[in-house]
Amino acid sequence: MLGALKDWIIWLQDRYLYPRAKTKVERLRMMVFYYLVLAIFVECSITLLGVTNVENTYVIRLTWILLGTAVVLFIGCGLKAISINPALDTLLLFIQARLCFIMMHCTVGSSAHPSDALVILHLCMCVFLLFFAVAAHLIWCPIILSVTSIAAYGFCIYQLDSHTLEVFFPIYIIFTALVTVFGLRMVYSVHTMEEENTALKEESQHIAEELELDNDELLVLLELSSKTCPEEDRLKELLSMMRENSRIRLIKAVDAYMKMKDTQDDILRKVFPEMTPSELTICRLILRGKKMGEICTILNKTTGNITSQRAHIRSKLGLKPADDLLKALEDRVNRFTGIEKAS
């Protein structure tokens, strides 16, 4: 039963509540807003029905105003007439104003003990509201909530002259300050990650446009380039995921590269007839300026294997330990090219 209810709530959110959220932060803010509206409906209904025995005229009026404001903002967001950020800010600040008013009002003309309890209760609700603002990744709202709750707390201490409230006042200031700073740091971190994510998406889109590929085809290309020898079935599956014109361009590009590589290999075989195929491959990579680590990565071989083959190459070329292998290879290629041109 609970699982079905959870699935229904998720479907309702995805279908009606979050379709216009462009980012994860907007989606989170909308979730906080709708849950906050639900909490207001419940709390205001309990108050107006007399369950909490609240009889103060001003509190009742504020409750009606809060309920009306929540309804207007809820409808406005649902009709896309109001954006989520000002709606959430307005709702949080209005709730805070109501809490602070009730908290300060209960200190006037009341006995100390009940007033202490009511102040602490409403301070807890202020902290709860502050967590809502932090969870929604708001910037200025947590600061305003912290300052107003501290100011209301100070007024209550002045009115009641309560030792208990005075003792916890510094603790409350430190706690709200830490929560606010943490919230601002979290907002900054999320904002930075969003900027980096946007930059990555734009770069990916630019690459896709330059290559005339969509995102799925880019993923296919990345998987093909990351595997040394993909299985035949997987290769067919990956190629089938690409559009025909993209697949044809890829095959033509690979074919052109292979022809160029074969031509280079033919030249290298003539320049270095004493070398084995694997040694020729290493010679070609060295001539391209590749370092030891890069050669190991490209050929998917260990450093010891490449070092051993480099030693064989140096031995076949008759090099001394102090001789530069790259320079020796270039000199031999240049001599061969000069002979070819002369003939």
Write out 123-177 in H/E/C secondary structure: HHHHHHHHHHHHHCCCCHHHHHHHHHHHHHHHHHHHHHCCHHHHHHHHHHHHHHH
Q: Is residue 30 part of a domain?
A: yes
- What CATH number is associated with residue 262? 3.40.50.2300
Q: Could you read off the pLDDT of 315-340 as tens digits, one per residue? A: 888 888 888 888 888 888 888 776 55
Residues 118 and 260 placed together within one structural domain of the fold: no
Least confident interval from 60-64, 246-250, 269-273, 336-340: 336-340
pLDDT of 149: 92
Q: Are 76 and 87 in contact (CB under 8 A)?
A: yes
Residues 269 and 169 placed together within one structural domain of the fold: no
> Cα separations (Å) of 143 from 26, 98, 129, 150, 284?
20, 17, 12, 11, 63
Q: Is residue 226 part of a domain?
A: no
Q: Is residue 234 part of a domain?
A: no
Identify the CA nearest to 130 among candidates 173, 160, 192. Answer: 173
Residues 127 and 273 placed together within one structural domain of the fold: no
Residues 253 and 179 placed together within one structural domain of the fold: no
Instruction: Look up tokens 């031999």; give the residue.
Output: 332
Q: Are 40 and 95 in contact (CB under 8 A)?
A: yes
Q: Is residue 92 part of a domain?
A: yes
Q: Could you read off the pLDDT of 234-258 as tens digits, one per residue? A: 666 666 766 777 667 766 766 666 6
CA torsion 211→214→220→226, rounded to 10°? 50
Residue 112 has pLDDT above 50, yes or no: no
Domain carrying residue 81: 12-183
Residues 152 and 55 placed together within one structural domain of the fold: yes
- Taking CA 328 as the corner, what is the angle to CA 325 and CA 334, rounded to the nearest 5 degrees? 140
Residue range 272-285: average pLDDT? 86
How many whole angstroms separate alpha carbon 253 and alpha carbon 247? 10
Domain end marker among 162, 183, 204: 183
Selected residue with higher pLDDT from 8 and 285: 285
Q: Is residue 291 part of a domain?
A: yes
Domain end marker among 139, 157, 183: 183
Q: Could you read off the pLDDT of 196-214 as tens digits, one per residue? A: 777 777 776 766 666 566 6
Q: Could you read off the pLDDT of 120-156 as tens digits, one per residue? A: 888 888 998 898 888 888 888 899 999 999 999 999 8
Domain end marker among 134, 149, 183: 183
Residues 6 or more apart in contact with residue 148 via CB below 8 angstroms: 96, 97, 100
Q: Are 241 and 233 in contact (CB under 8 A)?
A: no
Instruction: Answer yes or no: pTM beyond 0.85.
Output: no
> Cα separations (Å) of 108 from 13, 126, 152, 174, 256?
44, 20, 13, 27, 88
How many whole angstroms separate alpha carbon 302 and alpha carbon 283? 17
Residues 70 and 165 placed together within one structural domain of the fold: yes
Q: Is residue 108 part of a domain?
A: yes
Residues 48 and 132 placed together within one structural domain of the fold: yes
With DSSP H G I counted as helix, E B as strand and the rest as coil, what are the percentages for the chain, rounded to 5?
80, 0, 20
Residue 92 has pLDDT above 50, yes or no: yes
Check residue 272 and report its DSSP letter: -
Residues 254 and 179 placed together within one structural domain of the fold: no
Residues 168 and 254 placed together within one structural domain of the fold: no
Q: Is residue 192 part of a domain?
A: no
Residue 83 region by backbone torsions, left for phi larger than 0, else alpha for psi between -120 and 50, else beta = beta
Check residue 106 and report its DSSP letter: T
Q: What is the mean pLDDT of the chain?
A: 78
Residue 193 has pLDDT above 50, yes or no: yes
Selected residue with higher pLDDT from 342 and 85: 85
Q: Are 139 and 187 in contact (CB under 8 A)?
A: yes
- Taking CA 154 as the corner, what is the angle to CA 151 and CA 157, rounded to the nearest 5 degrees? 155
Residues 179 and 253 placed together within one structural domain of the fold: no
Q: How confident is the model at residue 294 (pLDDT cuts 50, 70, 90)?
A: confident
Q: How confident is the model at residue 48 (pLDDT cuts 50, 70, 90)?
A: confident
Q: Are 238 and 220 in contact (CB under 8 A)?
A: yes
How many whole angstroms separate alpha carbon 275 and alpha carbon 95? 81
Q: What share of the chain in percent tops pLDDT 70?
A: 72
Residue 78 has pLDDT above 90, yes or no: no
Widest CA span in the chain: 113
Q: Is residue 74 part of a domain?
A: yes
Total domains present in the chain? 2
Q: Are 143 and 96 in contact (CB under 8 A)?
A: no
Q: How confident is the model at residue 111 (pLDDT cuts 50, 70, 90)?
A: very low
Selected residue with higher pLDDT from 259 and 194: 194
